[in-house]
Amino acid sequence: MIELIIINGLVYGGVYAVLTLGFSLVFGVAKLLNLAYTAYYMICGFIIFVLATILGVDLIPSIIVAILITCLLGMISYEVCLARVKEHEVTVLIISVALAILFQELFLLIFGGDYRRIPPFVTGFLEIAGVRVTYQHFIAIGICLITLISVGLLLSKTKLGYAIRAVAQDREIANLMGINVDRVYILTMVISVALAGIACAVVSPIFMVHPLMWVHSLIIVLAAAVLGGLGSIRGSVIAAFILAFTEVAVVTLVPGGSFLRGAVSLGVMIVVLIVKPEGLFGIVFEEERL
Partner 1 sequence: MITFYNKKNDWFKVILISLLFSTVTTLAYASQPVSTLKKIKIGVIGPMKFGVGQQEWWGAKIAADEINGAGGVVVKGVKHEIELVKADSNETKSTTDAVNAMEKLITFDKVNFVTGGYVAEPVLAMQEVIADSKVIYIGGAGTQMLTERVAKNYNRYKYYFRNIHSNETMFSSVIFSLIDMEVEKIRTELGISKPRVAFLLDKIQACEVMPEIGRTLLPKMGAEIAGVWRTSMRADDLSAELTAIKASGAHIIYHFLAGPSATVFSKQWGELRIPAATAGYNNELPWKRHWKDTNGMCEYEVGFCNIGRTEMTYKTIPFFDKFLRETGEYPTDHSSTYDNVYILKEAVERAGTLETEAVLGELEKTNSIGTRGRIAFYPRGHKWPHDKVFGAEYDTQVGVQWQKGSLMVVWPDGRHVVGGLDDKSMIGVKYKGTVDYKLPPWMVEYWKGKTGK
Which residues are at the interface with partner 1 (CB under 8 A)? 1, 4, 8, 11-12, 108-109, 112-117, 119, 123, 125, 130-134, 137, 206-208, 210, 212-213, 216, 247-248, 251-252, 255-259, 262
Q: Give 44 or 213: the residue with its C-beta nearer to partner 1.
A: 213
User: What is each CA distance from 228 to 126, 214, 244, in whole angstroms?
Assistant: 31, 21, 13
CA distance 217 to 208: 13
Shortest Cβ 149–partner 1 spacing (Å): 25
What is the distance between the alpha carbons of residues 131 and 3, in angstroms, rounded to a whole number? Answer: 7
Nearest to partner 1 of 61, 112 (CB atom): 112
Amino acid found at 247: E
Rounded distance between C-alpha atoms, residue 39 and residue 195, angstroms: 13
- The Cβ of residue 24 has, within 10 Å, a number of other Cβ atoms equal to 29
From the CB of 213, what's the least distance to partner 1, in Å?
6
What are the angstrom distances between the C-alpha of 2 and each of 16, 125, 141, 241, 257? 20, 20, 20, 16, 18
Q: Which is nearer to partner 1, 230 or 248 (CB)?
A: 248
Coil/strand/helix, residue 77: helix
Q: How far is the CB of 19 from partner 1 (least distance, A)?
A: 12
- Return the number of the residue (135 or 162) whose C-beta is nearest partner 1: 135
Residue 50 C-beta: closest distance to partner 1, Å: 15
Angle, alpha carbons 285-232-13 (nearest 5°): 105
Residue closer to partner 1 by CB (options 1, 274) is 1
Residue 138: strand pairing partners: none
Whether 224 and 236 have beta carbons less than 8 Å apart is answered as yes
Enter the DSSP assignment of 287: G
CB of residue 233 vs partner 1: minimum separation in angstroms? 24
In the bound state with partner 1, the residue whose beta carbon lies nearer, of 10 and 191, is: 10
What is d(CA 8, CA 111) in angstroms, rounded to the nearest whole number?
31
**Nearer residue to partner 1 within complex by CB, 1 or 176:** 1
Rounded to a whole number of angstroms, the minimum distance from the CB of residue 130 to partner 1 is 7
CB 127, min distance to partner 1, A? 9
Least Å distance between CB 110 and partner 1?
10
Is 48:116 a contact under the CB 8 Å cutoff? no
With respect to partner 1, which residue has the nearer C-beta, 44 or 248? 248
Of 198, 172, 180, nearest in space to 37 by CA? 198
Taken in order 213, 107, 143, 51, is the CA torsion positive or negative? positive
